[in-house]
Structure 1
């Protein structure tokens, strides 16, 4: 689908904080960038009432193809990627806001194959990842030997599936919650480690989700921002270490700077043909 010379129709799947931000940006600024809103879907459609024009509300996600989108943007939950990713790619380019779903090898392979089969792009937004394109270039050249990423947040910002935070108290300070491969981390904190998942995608198939190492840290001192540290290692002693402080309110899963990052990623979704593309 060539959308370079015409308005691109965007479908937004999910209406949490990030979905709300993207919908409002598309409605307000989209026309200036060649974007129009095709539909908005949310698991609880009542949340869309009086917030989204009625004609743009999609109540049954299975009927998304009727809206004839150029790009479908998922910003809600990894399960949507698993359940609808193949269908999305059969009809449109697909921007995965929950790339932690790609930690499942079967899902990853199926979506890559569908992207090639249909000639559409599986976009992975960089989010809070700094230097993703550089990591990808290192990987593509065969020079990326190791990649480590640490995400530190206030404990109220974590949404974990296990009982890792059980017994936590406010005076505890700093605690390493988990360290291991990103493949292991994604099921534990699917809503918190999408930046790590983006890094694993950038690292390519050489390292992948199993080869990239990650660590999540609970730190009560981080009341105003999240910290993302990335260390990439190459040959002959080469290494790069970056530290990003992302402003965030208490309890916020996503840092505030990430919202604009997602918007900028969406502007890149113009069709890069049958591949996975970090944007």
Structure 2
């Protein structure tokens, strides 16, 4: 049975039309929430695109399926949400911002300095907002405030997962499939191209910590076979005059899942914020 959408005509607030790019687990969750809860919140689904359109059959009404992503502008969406792969950000990010606000679900793409600058310029030029969802990052707004005050000195993030949860460039060696092993430690700028689907939390932190940027924020990914049903995200923030904060987040997740369960709700909450904040980058 096709999911259908009925606009809530009784809503007094302006309706925002949302385009969803990607129909993996996260994309399916957002589409489902938009169809079920969107009407009461003034949100309507404008289109859904997936690289394999066959995956949408029987799940999304045909009129909502966008076969050719290059024709996205014809759907006249207020916000476009990417939840599939950094390559889409590279190929379409600037074009999306020329027509709509853009929520980038793969902020690891922003580790490319040239792309980062081009997106910021497009955002400013067109008066659109480039939204970066916090995802699994805890305390992102606090990091941003510390950064904006000029007192942020250092930021370190460690993400620990079962080896089946990593989507790295290249296969995980056999000796990493048992026990705990550090796979990489270094700048987030170096890490993002190696694990683009796993370190979006770190990328969001690098956006929040603009003074440090992707090069200055340090990250570590850890393979741990003990983590059968959750991911662990540790954040260490250092400010001036001896100030420091350390948080540890346990994020429930199925074995092999790239994204933790709590992150799905976090993305939905971020989307509800995307109502336009001018020509700038906005952590949501």
TM-score clears 0.5: yes
Cα distance in structure 1, aligned partners of 2:78 and 2:96: 10
- TM-score, normalised to structure 2's length? 0.95
Residue equivalent to 1:77: 85
1:269 CA drift (Å): 0.1
Structure 2, unaligned runs of 5 or more: 1-11
State which of 245, 255, 269 in structure 1 corresponds to 2:260: 255
1:129 CA drift (Å): 0.2
Cα distance in structure 1, aligned partners of 2:50 and 2:175: 33
SS in 2 for 1:113: helix
- TM-score, normalised to structure 1's length? 0.97
* 2:125 maps to 1:117: yes
State which of 177, 200, 209 in structure 1 corresponds to 2:214: 209
1:32 CA drift (Å): 1.1
* Residues 148-187 of structure 1 mapped to structure 2, 5 A cutoff: 148-163=156-171, 165-168=172-175, 170=177, 172-187=178-193
The alignment covers a number of residue pairs equal to 273
Residue equivalent to 1:61: 69
Residue equivalent to 2:243: 238
Cα distance in structure 2, aligned partners of 1:178 and 1:23: 34
Cα distance in structure 2, aligned partners of 1:147 and 1:197: 12
Q: CA RMSD in A?
A: 1.0
- Provide runs of 4+ in structure 1 moved above 4 Å: none
CA offsets per residue over residues 99-121 of structure 1, 9 Å max, x none? 00000000000000000000000
SS in 2 for 1:168: helix
Structure 1, unaligned runs of 5 or more: none
CA offsets per residue over residues 213-255 of structure 1, 9 Å max, x none? 0000000000010000000100011000000000001000000
